[in-house]
Structure 1
Amino acid sequence: MTHLLAIDQGTSGTKAIVVDYGPDGSGRVVSVAEVALRPRYLPGGAVEQDPEALWDSVVRAGRDALAQAEVEVTAVALANQGETVLAWDRDTGRPLTPAIVWQDRRAESVCAPLAGSADRVARRTGLVLDPYFSAPKMAWLRGALTRSGVVTTSDTWLVHRLCGAYVTDASTASRSLLTALDSPSWDGELLELFGLADETLPGIVGCDEIVGATDVFGPTIPVAGLIVDQQAALLAESCLETGAAKCTYGTGAFLLAQLGATPALSSSGLTTSVAWRLRGQTSYCADGQVYTAASAVRWAIDLGLVPAADQLDTVAADSSDGVLCVPALAGLAAPWWDSGATASFTGMTLSSGRGQLVRALLEGIAAQVTALADLVATDLGRPLTRLRVDGGLTRSAVLMQAQADLAQIPVDVYPSLHATALGAAACARMALEPSMTPAEAVGDWTPVHTYHPRWSPDRAAEYLDRWRQAAESTLQKQGESS
C-alpha cells in the first residue's frame, strides 16, 4: 500500500489530496484540503497573485491534507498553473515581483512588435505568439518591473522553496514559447527573439523524475511528479490513445486531445505542446483554451446574477429565449486569438431576466468549448466521438447538458473533482516505481454520469452559427477572424 501527497496549485486556489494506492493499484482519495486564492484583476488586463500567498496555500493545503489522512506518504507531487511567471531571488527564494497570472494581457505590448515573427514562432514551438504564454510575460516583467533575480514560471519557484532544486518539467517548458516542439531544451533563437538570452533558466526534467526531497510537510519525502495542470488532467482521465480528449472546467476551460508521439502542428488555430515526458518518451497534445469559465461564473456572482456557484442550475432558466452570451471577459483564444475581444450579451428584450442571462452564460461557455472540439476534429481528420470532462463546473447539469447538445457527442464526467492532482500523483507513482506504465499508474475509471445530446444536429448547428456571429462581433481585430 502506497500513500502519496499530490498538490494542484491553481489560479483560484490550491488543493492537496492524499491518495491511497491499494493492492489492486487503484487510487482512493483519503483526504482533501483546499486553500482559496483570489487573483487581483486590475485595469489594463492585469491579473496578479501574491507569490507568498501561493506558497502559503501550498504549505497549508499539504499539511492539512496530511493531518486529515493521518498516514505517512512516500512522495509529494505538484501540478502547476503552467504560464504564470514571477521574478525571485535564487539565493533567498524571496519573490521580487507579483506572480503575473496566465490570464494577464499586458504582454500584448511585447507580442505586437514581434508580429512579423509569428508564423516562424508557431512553426517552431507549436504555440501562438500571444500574451497567454510564458515568454511574453517574462519579457514584459523584465521591461516593466525588475531586472533582478531570475524570472521563471511559478512551479520552478515553488519547487525551489520545497527542496532547493532549480527545475521545470517538460510539459510546463513547452508552454513557454522558448522551446522547439521537437526538442527538450531551451532554444537560443527563441530566447534572443524575446530578449531573454541572458536569463539563467531552470533545468528541464521528465514528469516522472525525483527532483529532490522536502521536509516542509513533516518527515522528509521525495519531490516527484511535476506536470502542468491541464496535462495532468489529460493523464488522469486516461487520454492515452490518439484522439482521446478531455475538457477541464476550472477558472478557464481547457480542451486537450492526445496526439501520441508525433507533434503535429495545428492547421486550425489550436496549439500543440508536450502532454508529458514519461519513461523517456514524449507524448504531445493539441489544446484550446476558453479564458473565462469559472471566472465568468464568479463575475456573475459578484454582479448578483447568481447567489453562489452551486446555485447555477437553480437560477438558470429552462431556455435562454434567444439571449446569447460570449463570455470573453479576458479576450478570446483559439481560433480567434484576440486579446482585445470583449464579452457580450445579445438578443435581450424587456422579458429577459437573470435566468435567461445565466443560461446564456453557461451555453456560451459550452459553445466556446464546442468550437475547440470542432478544431480538434479538423486537426485529427475525424470528429471526436466523446468528451471526458472534469473540474468544479461539471457539477452544473445545465452546463454539461448544453455541452453534449452543442458538441453533439456524449460527455463523460470524471468521477473525481481532483483529476489534476491525481494526474500528478500518477507521475509520482512512476517516479517511485520504474517498471510501472502510464496506464498502470492511472488505473481504470468509470464516468459518474454521461450526458447524451438532446438537441437535434440542426438545432445545434443553428445555435452555433448565431453564437459564432456574436463572437466575431466582439473582436477587436475586426476582419482578421478565422
Structure 2
Amino acid sequence: MTGPVLAIDQGTSGTKALVICPVRGVIGSGFAAVRPRYLPGGRVEVAPFELLNSVVEAGRAALAAAGEPVVAVGLANQGETVLAWDPASGEPLTDAIVWQDRRAEPLCAELAPHAAWLRETTGLPLDPYFAAPKMAWIRRHLTREGVVTTSDVWLVHRLTGAFVTDAATAGRTQLLDLETVRWSDAALGAFDLSGERLPEIVDADTRVGTTTAFGPEVPLTGLLVDQQAALLAQRVTEPGAAKCTYGTGAFLLAQSGPLPRRSASGLVGCVAWRIAGRTDYCLDGQVYTAASAVRWLTDLGVVSGAEDIDTVGGGVADCGGVTFVPALAGLAAPWWRGDLRGSVTGLGLDTTAGHLVRALCDGIAAQVAELADAVAGDLGAPLTSLRVDGGLTRSALLMQAQADLLRIPVEVSALPDVTALGVGAVARLGLDPSLTVHEAVPEWKPAAVYEPRCDAGQAAERRARFRTAVSAMLGDGPA
C-alpha cells in the first residue's frame, strides 16, 4: 500500500489541496483564494502568478495540516483558461484569460464557415468558452512571442519543467482530433495557430517529473481537467450515468464509453480521460452561471451569501410567478448563445426576495434538466439518477428543485472536493500502475438523496415557464 498523495484542484475562485491516505482518507486540507478580474465587455482575467502561488500555498497548507510526507502529487486544472508565456524562463507574457471570458466572440463569428467540420473533428461547438479562440485572440491582439497554452501547461512547467497536458484538457481546446487524440493540423490552421509549439499529450496517470515546490522532492504523477476529475471521483465510469458539479457554473457530464460520440442535442463530445493508454469519452453540458448567479444576488443584497439560500427561499411556498433565466454570462449548452444575458420575468409588487431566490433555484435546475434531456437523447436512454457535488449542493432548496424538475433521484456526494479526490486517484494510478481504477477511486456513498416531491404536471409546468422565457430571449417566442 502506497503512502498519502497531495491532490490539488486549481479552480476559478480558489485552489483546494487535500492530502489523501489510501487507508485513512483525507488527512489534511488547504485552500488559497484566487480573484479573477471581471471587466467590461465580458472579459475575465487573472494574474498567472496568482494561480501558481495559490497552488503552492494550498499544497503547503494541506501538508502542514497532515503533518506527514506524501509520495506523489496530482494537479487538476480549470480547462479552458489560457495564457502566453516564455518557455525558456517560464515568465508569463500575458495575463491568464479565464474560461468565462467572451472577448473572442468576433473571432468565432469570423470562423463560422468552419464550425461544422470543427465540431465533427474536435467534438466542440465554435464558442469563446473553449481554449483555441482565446489562444488565437492572444496571438492576434497581444503577442506572437513564446508559447500560448492552457493554464495547466504553464503550472506543470513551473512545478516540474515538463511541457505536457493531459488528453482530457487537450480535448477542451478545440485543437484535438477526437478520433486520434492528437493535435489536429486542420484545426490549428483554422485558428491561425499552425506552427505553434504545443505540449505533449500524456495520459492522466503519467509521471511527468518531480517538484520541490511543496518541500522535499516528490513526483507529479496525475493530471486531469477539473470536471472529468469530478466524474471519475463519483465513479461515473459506465455509459448512461452522469454527474453535475455546482460551482461557479454547473457542469453535467455523462460517460459515453470507449468511442467518441458527437452530440446531436447541443452537448459537447470530449475525452473523459486517458488512463493506461485507454481513452474514455463523455458528453458534457455547461451552465455558465450557478454560484456566480448567487454571488450576483448577494451583491444586490437579496441574500447575504449562498448559505442564505434556504433561509430566504424557504420563507415562501413557490416562485410567486417569477421566472429567472440566470444566463448572466450567456446561455451555454444546448443553445450556445453567449451573446444573450439573463432575464427575470413575472415580477409584481408582491414579489419578495424569497421569490427571487426560489426562481433562481428553479432556473439553475431547469437548465441542468435541459442538459439531462439532451444526454438522454444522445445516449438513447434516460438517466436513472444524477450524482452531484459542489458548494451549492448544500442548498436543500436547490437540490429538491433539481430532483423535482429532473423527475429522478439526485444523489449528493458525501465527499466534498471531489475534483481533488479524482486527481488524487489518477496520481495514485500514475505511481502504482498495478492498481485498477476502481481500487484507486473512493467508494461512492451519497450523503443525501433527494427524491422528486412535486407531481409530473407541476414539474412540466415549471419547465414550460422556463422554456417560454428562454424562447423569448432567443427571439423565437412571445416576449
Alignment TM-score, normalising by the size of structure 1: 0.97
Would you say 1:251 and 2:252 are equivalent positions?
A: no
Deviations 1:333-389 (A, max 9, x none): 111100111111111110001111111111111110010000000001111000000
What is the Cα deviation at residue 445 of structure 1? Answer: 2.1
Name which of 28, 40, 43 aligns with 1:43: 40
Q: Find the aligned partners of 1:97 and 1:341 in 2 and give their Cα distance.
A: 28
Deviations 1:313-336 (A, max 9, x none): 111133111111000011101111
Q: Find the aligned partners of 2:350 and 2:280 in 1 and give their Cα distance.
A: 51
Would you say 1:328 and 2:327 are equivalent positions?
A: yes
Other structure's SS at 1:322 match: coil
Aligned residue in 2 for 1:458: 457
Query: Where does 1:428-439 land on structure 2 (aligned, <5 Å)?
Result: 428-439=427-438
Q: Any gaps of 5 or more consecutive residues in structure 2? A: none
Q: Find the aligned partners of 2:146 and 2:442 in 1 and give their Cα distance.
A: 42
Other structure's SS at 1:78 match: strand
RMSD after superposition: 1.1
Aligned amino acid, residue 341 of structure 2: T
Other structure's SS at 2:176 match: coil
What is the Cα deviation at residue 237 of structure 1? Answer: 0.2
Query: Where does 1:84-103 land on structure 2 (aligned, <5 Å)?
Result: 84-103=81-100
After TM superposition, the structure 1 stretch with the greater mean CA deviation from structure 2, 269-278 or 431-440, is: 431-440
Aligned residue in 1 for 2:112: 115
Q: Find the aligned partners of 1:455 and 1:143 in 2 and give their Cα distance.
A: 52
Aligned amino acid, residue 239 of structure 2: T
After TM superposition, the structure 1 stretch with the greater mean CA deviation from structure 2, 107-116 or 308-317, is: 308-317
Deviations 1:18-67 (A, max 9, x none): 10111xxxx61111111111211111110111111111100100001000
Other structure's SS at 1:448 match: strand
Deviations 1:195-231 (A, max 9, x none): 0002111100000001000000000000111000000
Other structure's SS at 2:304 match: coil
Aligned residue in 1 for 2:448: 449
Q: Find the aligned partners of 1:132 and 1:102 in 2 and give their Cα distance.
A: 6
Aligned residue in 2 for 1:392: 391
Q: Find the aligned partners of 2:268 and 2:134 in 1 and give their Cα distance.
A: 18
After TM superposition, the structure 1 stretch with the greater mean CA deviation from structure 2, 432-441 or 149-158, is: 432-441
Aligned residue in 2 for 1:406: 405
Q: Find the aligned partners of 2:346 and 2:378 in 1 and give their Cα distance.
A: 33
Following superposition, which runs of at least 4 residues in structure 1 exceed 6 angstroms of deviation? none
Would you say 1:236 and 2:226 are equivalent positions?
A: no
Query: Where does 1:1-400 land on structure 2 (aligned, <5 Å)?
Result: 1=1, 2-22=3-23, 28-316=25-313, 317-400=316-399
Q: Find the aligned partners of 1:269 and 1:206 in 2 and give their Cα distance.
A: 27
Count of aligned residue pairs for this structure pair: 474
Q: Find the aligned partners of 1:109 and 1:146 in 2 and give their Cα distance.
A: 18
Q: Find the aligned partners of 1:449 and 1:5 in 2 and give their Cα distance.
A: 27
Q: Find the aligned partners of 2:471 and 2:139 in 1 and give their Cα distance.
A: 34
Aligned amino acid, residue 462 of structure 2: Y
Q: Any gaps of 5 or more consecutive residues in structure 1? A: none
What is the Cα deviation at residue 474 of structure 1? Answer: 2.3
Q: Find the aligned partners of 1:282 and 1:362 in 2 and give their Cα distance.
A: 36
Q: Find the aligned partners of 1:150 and 1:350 in 2 and give their Cα distance.
A: 55
Deviations 1:160-215 (A, max 9, x none): 00000000000000111101111121111110000000211110000000100000
Percent identity among equivalent residues? 60
Q: Find the aligned partners of 2:293 and 2:415 in 1 and give their Cα distance.
A: 23
Q: Find the aligned partners of 1:299 and 1:32 in 2 and give their Cα distance.
A: 28
Q: Find the aligned partners of 2:468 and 2:96 in 1 and give their Cα distance.
A: 35
What is the Cα deviation at residue 107 of structure 1? Answer: 0.7
Q: Find the aligned partners of 2:325 and 2:476 in 1 and give their Cα distance.
A: 18
Aligned amino acid, residue 234 of structure 1: L
Aligned amino acid, residue 4 of structure 1: V
Aligned amino acid, residue 414 of structure 1: S
Other structure's SS at 2:111 match: helix
Deviations 1:377-414 (A, max 9, x none): 00011110000000010000000000000000000001
What is the Cα deviation at residue 472 of structure 1? Answer: 2.4
Alignment TM-score, normalising by the size of structure 2: 0.98
What is the Cα deviation at residue 299 of structure 1? Answer: 1.1
What is the Cα deviation at residue 479 of structure 1? Answer: 4.6
Aligned amino acid, residue 15 of structure 1: K
Aligned amino acid, residue 370 of structure 2: A
Other structure's SS at 1:122 match: helix
Q: Find the aligned partners of 1:36 and 1:215 in 2 and give their Cα distance.
A: 22
